[in-house]
Amino acid sequence: MKKTKINLGLIGLGTVGSKVIDLFYKNKSIIEQKIGAEIEFYILCDVDKKRFNAVPLSKKIKRTNLWEEVVDNPEVDIVIELIGKEDIARKIIVESLKNNKNVVTANKAVLAKHWDEIFSIAREKQKLVYFEGSVGAGIPIIQALNEGLAANRIKRIVGILNGTTNYILTKMLKENISYETALKSAQKNGFAESNPKIDVSGIDTTNKLSILSSIAWSTWIKPENIYCEGIDKIDIIDINFAFNEFNFVTKLLGIAKLVENKLEIFVRPCLIPSGHPFSSVDNEFNAILLEGDACGNIMFYGKGAGGAPAASAVLSDIMFLARQVAVGTAGKIPYVSYTRLSNISIKEYEKIEGCYYLRFTTVDRPGVLAKISGILAKYNVSIAGVFQKEPLSKYRKAVPILMLTHKTSELSIRKAIKEIDKLSITEANTVLLRIEENL
Amino acid sequence: MKKTKINLGLIGLGTVGSKVIDLFYKNKSIIEQKIGAEIEFYILCDVDKKRFNAVPLSKKIKRTNLWEEVVDNPEVDIVIELIGKEDIARKIIVESLKNNKNVVTANKAVLAKHWDEIFSIAREKQKLVYFEGSVGAGIPIIQALNEGLAANRIKRIVGILNGTTNYILTKMLKENISYETALKSAQKNGFAESNPKIDVSGIDTTNKLSILSSIAWSTWIKPENIYCEGIDKIDIIDINFAFNEFNFVTKLLGIAKLVENKLEIFVRPCLIPSGHPFSSVDNEFNAILLEGDACGNIMFYGKGAGGAPAASAVLSDIMFLARQVAVGTAGKIPYVSYTRLSNISIKEYEKIEGCYYLRFTTVDRPGVLAKISGILAKYNVSIAGVFQKEPLSKYRKAVPILMLTHKTSELSIRKAIKEIDKLSITEANTVLLRIEENL
């Protein structure tokens, strides 16, 4: 069935939602030309009525504070879910599909956690869910994985996927300030929420890595199965030592790597060589590296946060969908092709190998190094370098000893640290950071 | 009309064609799973019969040395044109469309030169032409511009778009060798053709920039309207001076920039700051920077040459097309949306402004600098810095004078150089290189 006018129902008039409306009217002429049909907002929904006044829209467009009035409205072709909350957002997406509507969302948490449910219903109802804005904001990475690189077997995904944490880590290194001070600066400049937990704990990065991996390997990689460590325990001391002593920059990375049909997948702060392109991805910028068996390494880089870049993705999704709605083909081909029967399994995190940076805090006494290296040897951890530093005032008489290791398993290094941290010569918990030398 | 089996007709079994076949069979299981239908090569075509033996294919697949037998074959759903030549390739594409077949090609010269014809016929016949492999090999840049960033008004495209020239320029700088020596190395290592003219003259970059610009601005930017300068006149002396004295790296850039509805568009070697991400795009790698009004700057990076990366793009195109052929929707929406009535015009090249690097070669005598700077002043060229260097042995007693200018027009700088080169104190033609400081 062809349509000459496409009606949009937008739920959520926050930062992204209001930018979508701005961009829509700013570029309406090129948008309609590219779609080949008229397109208009038919109904807007927000629980906060004040937000309706902020968007200078025609009185003809309906307003409601009940999402059901959008989702149930027979005139609406495409539902745009931009509320950010989880439970209601899931309901909006699912009910829209059940009501035979196509959906655009940027909600990474809901997608990551309800992947199977959402795409099963979409397939069953022959409707589309587009979600370019969910990862990397304006960077068209979802489409690239889904279509542009579809012929490849993806071997690896590495990403700086969270603008807030990248902003904080950049500030810490460049201005030599503590985590707490950098977080405050991020909040002041609009790069962190007043409750920053989802970002700084690594959960947001985990959700995004879940989405990218689920597409790449045509299965559902649940976020709860991804090892996750945030940046909230990061000490400026280690960021400085890593940079000044070893030329490493500290970045929160999401990594998924297929090794003999087992997926090594985790989110954690990593040390990367300062010459690598990722080391200069600063502030709110994101970068994603994909390795395919045919295309080799491909890198994408752009603003990973902010209303306008996210609106770019959401509105491009709307256009892509609207073109299909206009000619009556939307949903005949599922956007995400996946099977629940994938033979890819996730490797136990403790079995993953890597090289590490260690900072021990010990008393200044003969025999300390012998004790530590003895325990490391017991767990087969091979040392690549040792650097004993001057005591820092913060540590009073305690001495920081820095160590880089050769490749070892996460389990071995953790067991060794556990034993070392019990020694009477150890004055504070040992700091462990993963090194990613060959990105 | 739904189809359960998609038949491919492949014309051209060269580097890319044979890699497409390799990749197809290597990843056939995931390819068919993603398409949701069977897919097979139905007929192969090459003028060189020996090439058929090189591909280990089932005897059931037909072979021919006449392209018409592919294009006219009623069983073929998708024609893949990979012959590289221009006239025949154009015929293959046009005749395929006229015969109601969808087309995949990587032929940038044919697309750039026959854009209007090809996409008019495609639209009229409701068929699709996909061409991801034509620019940036495996980098999914065509789809990004066409769809993922569709909501943006594109303000700027900057690209390192040619692997051969980038390989040569990288070698020259890193190994301090002449253009001729670097070209030979490129030829030896398979990064340059025995006749390298299309690459080193900038024509290939111009064709690619024509394609990207035509998509970005929904019009046809003809390659003949793009100012083009190659790298074949580049002297290692200037590459070294630019790097050692001013921290600039020399790259062949294709740039298109919309300024007040006029397009500033050109291909030429440019000096870029050595800290910019583009400066570390080495050898056969490509990089493309897009600036949109909503997404801001987005950068794509990957291998821009080689059989496997191009095959990644071609086969992903085939898959994308095959999914639509399978459900009977292919061609209902044109892939490239463009109008011949665009109000974008191309700025006269000589009116474009920029900063420049100049190398004068003069006799070593008092008053030389006064003469040169007098002429520059006459044409309103403002000097940002002057550096008189020791005479190079190559120049015998001649002295190289390096100069950086402030912003001036191409016309002014050329007029000034013309006059300076006529002076009796000038011993060799002045070298002019554009500086792109704010990429």
CATH of domain A141-303: 3.30.360.10
CATH fold group of domain B349-435 = Alpha-Beta Plaits (3.30.70)
Rounded to a whole number, what is the distance in Å from the CA of B150 to chain A's nearest CA? 5
Confidence of residue A390 (pLDDT cuts 50, 70, 90): confident
Residue A142: closest CA among chain B residues belongs to which residue? B148
Bridge partner residues of B269 (DSSP): B252
b/e A296-307 (16+ beta carbons within 10 angstroms → b): bbbbbbbbbbbb
End-to-end CA distance of chain A: 49
Tokens matching residue B349: 């090249």
Q: What is the three-state SS of A16-81?
A: HHHHHHHHHHHCHHHHHHHHCCEEEEEEEECCCCHHHHHCCCCCCCEEECCCHHHHCCCCCCEEEE
Q: Does residue B238 contact residue B431 with C-beta atoms inside 8 Å?
A: yes
Given B23, B296, B323, which is nearest A151 (Cβ)?
Answer: B23
Given B144, B324, B329, which is nearest A140 (Cβ)?
Answer: B144
DSSP conformation letters of B92-124:
HHHHHHHTT-EEEE--HHHHHHSHHHHHHHHHH
The beta-carbon contacts of B141-145 under 8 Å, at least 24 apart in sequence, are: B141/B212, B141/B288, B141/B300, B142/B211, B142/B212, B142/B215, B143/A140, B143/A143, B143/A144, B143/A147, B143/A148, B144/A140, B144/A143, B144/A144, B144/A148, B144/B290, B144/B298, B144/B300, B145/B212, B145/B215, B145/B216, B145/B290
Rounded to a whole number, what is the distance in Å from the CA of A123 to chain B's nearest CA? 13
Bridge partner residues of B361 (DSSP): B400, B428
Range of lowest pLDDT (A39-43, A358-362, B71-75, B365-369): B365-369
Cα separation values, A402 from A240, A372, A432, B365, Å: 12, 11, 10, 60
Q: Which of A208, A251, A303, A347 is catalytic?
A: A208
Cα separation values, A270 from A98, A362, A404, B174, B405, Å: 42, 24, 13, 30, 43
Query: What count of CB pairs under 8 Å joins A to B?
Result: 200
Given A36, A302, A323, which is nearest B296 (Cβ)?
Answer: A302
Confidence of residue A395 (pLDDT cuts 50, 70, 90): low
* Backbone CA torsion sign across A219, A222, A228, A230: positive
Please count the other Cβ atoms lying within 10 Å of the Cβ belonging to residue B389.
14
Tokens matching residue A323: 């073109």
Cβ neighbors of A393 (< 8 A, separation 6 or more) are none
B315: left (phi over 0), alpha (psi -120 to 50) or beta: alpha
Given B293, B295, B320, which is nearest A150 (Cβ)?
Answer: B320
Q: Does residue A222 contact residue A247 with C-beta atoms inside 8 Å?
A: no
- Determine whether B208 is an active site residue: yes
Report the amino acid identity of residue A410. Answer: E
pLDDT confidence of residue B393: 67
pLDDT confidence of residue B341: 58
Strand A426-435 and strand A262-273: the pairing is parallel
List CB contacts (< 8 A) between B30 and chain A: 153, 218
Question: How much of chain A exceeds pLDDT 70, in percent?
Answer: 97
Mean pLDDT of the region A38-63: 89
Rounded to a whole number, what is the distance in Å from the CA of B368 to chain A's nearest CA? 43
Tell whether pTM > 0.90.
yes
Task: Judge: B319–A19 Cβ closer than 8 Å, yes or no.
Answer: no
Residue A275: closest CA among chain B residues belongs to which residue? B280
Q: Does residue A425 contact residue A364 with C-beta atoms inside 8 Å?
A: no
To probe the interface with A, which of B312, B327, B339 has the most A CB atoms within 10 Å? Answer: B312
Alpha carbons A259 and A262: distance in angstroms, whole number = 5
Q: Does residue A289 contact residue A439 with C-beta atoms inside 8 Å?
A: yes
List CB contacts (< 8 A) between B326 and chain A: 333
Tokens matching residue A296: 């080799």
Cα separation values, A162 from A274, A304, B173, Å: 19, 7, 36
Report the amino acid identity of residue A100. Answer: N
List CB contacts (< 8 A) between B328 and chain A: 332
Alpha carbons B2 and A247: distance in angstroms, whole number = 58
Domain ranges of chain B: 5-137+307-327, 151-304, 349-435
Is residue A380 over pLDDT 70? yes
Residue A150: closest CA among chain B residues belongs to which residue? B316
Range of lowest pLDDT (A6-20, A52-66, B242-256, B273-287): A52-66
Rounded to a whole number, what is the distance in Å from the CA of B280 to chain A's nearest CA? 8
Confidence of residue A323 (pLDDT cuts 50, 70, 90): very high
Given A295, A311, A320, which is nearest B309 (Cβ)?
Answer: A295
Alpha carbons B169 and B68: distance in angstroms, whole number = 41
Backbone angles phi, psi at A427, to 5 degrees: -105, -15
Strand B399-405 and strand B383-388: the pairing is antiparallel
List CB contacts (< 8 A) between B309 and chain A: 294-296
Would you state the CATH architecture of domain B151-304? 2-Layer Sandwich (3.30)
Task: Judge: A36–B293 Cβ closer than 8 Å, yes or no.
Answer: no
To probe the interface with B, which of A15, A20, A35, A149 has the most B CB atoms within 10 Å? Answer: A149
Which among A432, A420, A303, A305 has a CA at the least distance from the CA of A369?
A: A420
Alpha carbons B64 and A419: distance in angstroms, whole number = 72
Tell me: the pLDDT tens digits for A247-257?
999 999 999 99
Report helix, strand or coil for A253. strand
Report helix, strand or coil for A430. strand
Which among A313, A311, A318 has a CA at the least distance from the CA of A300?
A: A313
Is residue A264 over pLDDT 80? yes
Alpha carbons B323 and A124: distance in angstroms, whole number = 17
Task: Judge: A294–B301 Cβ closer than 8 Å, yes or no.
Answer: no
Rounded to a whole number, what is the distance in Å from the CA of A423 to chain B's nearest CA? 46
The per-residue pLDDT string of chain B (439 residues; one tens digit each, 9 = 90 and over) reads: 788 999 999 999 999 999 999 999 999 998 998 998 999 999 999 999 889 887 667 888 999 999 999 999 999 999 999 998 899 999 999 999 999 999 999 999 999 999 999 999 999 999 999 999 999 999 999 999 999 999 999 999 999 999 999 999 999 999 999 999 999 999 999 899 889 999 999 999 999 999 999 999 999 999 999 999 999 999 999 999 999 999 999 999 999 999 988 999 999 999 999 989 899 999 999 999 999 999 999 999 999 988 999 999 999 999 999 999 999 999 999 888 766 656 789 999 999 999 999 999 999 888 999 999 999 999 999 999 998 877 766 656 788 999 999 999 999 999 999 999 999 999 999 999 999 998 8
Strand A5-11 and strand A38-45: the pairing is parallel
List CB contacts (< 8 A) between B327 and chain A: 329, 332-333
Residue A152: closest CA among chain B residues belongs to which residue? B312
Alpha carbons B389 and B362: distance in angstroms, whole number = 11
CATH fold group of domain A351-435 = Alpha-Beta Plaits (3.30.70)
Range of lowest pLDDT (A26-30, A291-295, A318-322): A26-30
Given A153, A293, A295, which is nearest B302 (Cβ)?
Answer: A295
To probe the interface with A, which of B149, B156, B314 has the most A CB atoms within 10 Å? Answer: B149
CATH of domain B5-137+307-327: 3.40.50.720
DSSP conformation letters of A110-166:
HHHHHHHHHHHHHHHHT--EE-GGGSSTTS-HHHIIIIITTTSPEEEEEEE--HHHH
